[in-house]
Amino acid sequence: MAIRLICRDGSIDQTFTQSLVTIGRGPGNTVRVENAQVSGIHGQIVLSEGVYWYHDLKSTNGSLVENHLGSFALDGQQQRSAPLSDGARLVLGDQRAPVVFEVVVVEDEAEKDENVPRTVIVSRSIAEASRLSVQMLTDSASSHGRLKQLLALTESLQAKLEPSSIADQLIKTIFASVPLSSVAGVYFESEKGLVPVLLRARKAAEPLALPWQRVGPLFLEAVQEQRVVQVEDERSIAHRFERAAPSLRAAVACPLVEGDVVKGVLVVASPERFNESDVDWIALLGWQVQLALRNAKLFTELEGLKSKLEEQNSFLRRSLDKETHGTVEIVGESAALKRTLKQVEIVARTDTTVLVLGETGTGKELVARMLHDKSPRAAGFFAAVNCGALTETLLESELFGHVRGAFTGASRDKKGLFEVADGGTLFLDEFGDVSPRLQVKLLRVLENGEVTPVGAVQSHTVDVRIVAATNRDLKAEVEAKRFREDLYYRINVFPLQLPPLRERLGDVERLCEHFLARFNERFKKSLKGFSRGALERLQSYGWPGNVRELQNELERVALLAEDHTTIGAEDLSERIVGAIELPTRFGALHETMEELEARYIRRVLARHDYNRTQSAKTLGISRQALTAKLHKYDLIDLK
């Protein structure tokens, strides 16, 4: 046998055939881990009677073993050891930033040989074995005890939802009702094939760690032909069960079948041959436990769906507190906006990651919602989070979720938005504000869809489309070493630039009509519209806060205005009515006048959607004179 240790960060991938392997930070260890959270000699792996065991050697930050039996926190004192089965995880050091090893147990080729010497004594279908057992229970007065045991098992399984608890109750029933049984256990399906849920010897305190690859060759007919079998061969069975009990020579295997698929196997071994009534009884118990395991699996899936729905409902309630979301509508007819919306239509049909760029208030979240609504994921969930509004720890919990006990106040597991939005779209606003540590976790999600909740060791995969937004210059942030370059290239696959409102002043009137209709409905009013003077003021203002600032201004105006009236310039805020845009620099008078002229020409062009003929008419100059000024002020490429 051999054991392979694969460090999750890719730094270690080694296979060891020796029976003792030490792990630690010190130079004398078999496996040397360069991590300050790992002790000098942190622990050791020992091969004992065919089973690998991990022993924590009183390390400072402890160890964790996750295997088929459960999760074992080891401190080197109260609990020191746990078996390392194939597929287990070994976690060393501080759980907030642990060193994680994937464990692969490599069997010898001889152990995999399917031509194992054994004699098949009994082989019958599951239905036949169960029928014979039921017939025995009803026909024989001596079977009263087993009938009571069956009823007791059925009743106890109703309250058990963990596969290991179900298997434990079954094993107790087998040991109580089948005196010959020395070893009993349940193997169940997983992504890696059949794995032991729980395996015990009658006189051993600790569970056994026997992979199916070792004992499976004894029971080929059970899995391949879906039959209850009893096999006999003292040497093979004792060897395969690694002397878990004295003088084992016979074993029974009952496949746990759902439909036409083997979902697991119940295995019982004995130093003597079982009589046929025992074999049929074991088959009946196996049938009973298969129902319990199936129900537990369904219940777990329902609990997961319930938890996900609760998190989605919680998110939706928070969203509704801000604003009811109906059909997304982006108002405007300017050329700049039309170009952006055309790009949205194209990229929405794909799963491509999108980076929305633009100043605050330009409608980045509306674009993200439109991308979702026009995509094949439209039936899925849309979630949004402002990365700049939360602290690093709160944002990590919001995005990735956490497990119970991960930090003070974490009284239960919480799903993060990546999992809540699984199958849908997640919008990450102010993405440029994410801390360097979280950038690493986000990169992992973008690369392979892996999400690890806070305080958890095991990650899981999600299918989420990412739409990010920022008003920062991410390229400059990369050059300043404040933003990861690899993350920048991952997120900047399809950039969408949203124009500021000052560059599409021709859309102001349409936006005013749109927002006034909304506020008339909200405030139960019938405001008639805007005077020409009010519109001119609104169209001449620079709107540094963009569409959001315009929306807030109109909400205030609609709230204060008398019903059934027209909004005039006198109803607007003083900052808009009295706004005078001064030059951005001090200098000679002709330079100041030129700056004001260039700024005014830019505004007139934007109001007329960059139509030079209409703009020249408003300015009172010829088209040729306007073109000359555009060249002078380097505005000729404005569109």
Residue at which a domain ends, from 298, 314, 344: 298
Task: Decide if 509 contacts 535 (C-beta within 8 A).
Answer: yes
> 166-192 burial, b if ≥16 CB within 10 A, otherwise e?
bbbbbbebbbebbeebbbbbbbbbeee
Same domain membership, residue 133 and residue 69: no
Same domain membership, residue 282 and residue 136: yes
- Report the C-alpha gap between 267 and 278 in whole angstroms: 13
Q: Which H helix or E strand runs over 128?
A: helix 126-139
Q: Is residue 443 part of a domain?
A: yes
Residue at which a domain ends, from 55, 71, 106: 106
Tell me the pTM.
0.55
Q: Is residue 222 part of a domain?
A: yes
Task: Decide if 528 contacts 564 (C-beta within 8 A).
Answer: yes
The Cβ of residue 379 has, within 10 Å, a number of other Cβ atoms equal to 8
Confidence class for position 321, pLDDT limits 50, 70, 90? very low
Same domain membership, residue 426 and residue 535: no
Same domain membership, residue 420 and residue 351: yes
Structural domain span for residue 49: 2-106
DSSP class of 454: B
**Residue showing tokens 């709107």:** 543
Residue 322 predicted with pLDDT over 60: no
Confidence class for position 143, pLDDT limits 50, 70, 90? low
Same domain membership, residue 513 and residue 489: no
Same domain membership, residue 125 and residue 37: no
User: Could you give the number of structural domains in the chain?
Assistant: 5
User: What is the per-residue pLDDT across 477-491, written as a single tens digit (0 to 9) for each?
Assistant: 999 999 999 999 999
Residue at which a domain ends, from 531, 550, 577: 577
Q: Is residue 584 part of a domain?
A: no
Mean pLDDT of 362-390: 92
Same domain membership, residue 435 and residue 289: no
The Cβ of residue 15 has, within 10 Å, a number of other Cβ atoms equal to 11
DSSP class of 498: P
User: What is the per-residue pLDDT across 211-250, written as a single tens digit (0 to 9) for each?
Assistant: 787 788 888 878 888 888 888 887 778 777 876 777 888 8
Q: Is residue 74 part of a domain?
A: yes
Same domain membership, residue 346 and residue 217: no
Label residue 55 exposed, middle or buried (CB < 10 Å: 0-12, 13-18, 19+): middle
**Residue showing tokens 């807030």:** 552
The Cβ of residue 362 has, within 10 Å, a number of other Cβ atoms equal to 26
Residue 548's domain is classified under what CATH number? 1.10.8.60
Same domain membership, residue 406 and residue 380: yes
Residue 200 to residues 218, 237, 293, 597, Cα–Cα distance (Å): 18, 15, 18, 88
Mean pLDDT of 159-170: 80
Same domain membership, residue 73 and residue 61: yes
Comparison of pLDDT for 426 and 604, the residue scoring more: 426
Q: Give percent above pLDDT 70 in the chain.
A: 88
User: What is the dihedral sign for C-alpha 390, 395, 401, 402?
Assistant: negative
Mean pLDDT of 603-630: 87
Same domain membership, residue 489 and residue 353: yes
Label residue 509 exposed, middle or buried (CB < 10 Å: 0-12, 13-18, 19+): middle
Residue 604's domain is classified under what CATH number? 1.10.10
Mean pLDDT of 450-477: 89
Residue 464's domain is classified under what CATH number? 3.40.50.300
- Residue spans of alpha helices (H) in 323-363: 335-348
Same domain membership, residue 253 and residue 117: yes
Collapsing DSSP to helix, strand or coil, 527 comes out as coil
- Report the C-alpha gap between 160 and 148 in whole angstroms: 19
Q: Which long-range contacts (CB under 8 A, 24 or more apart) does 164-167 make?
A: 164/69, 164/70, 164/197, 164/198, 166/197, 166/289, 166/292, 166/293, 166/296, 167/197, 167/198, 167/289
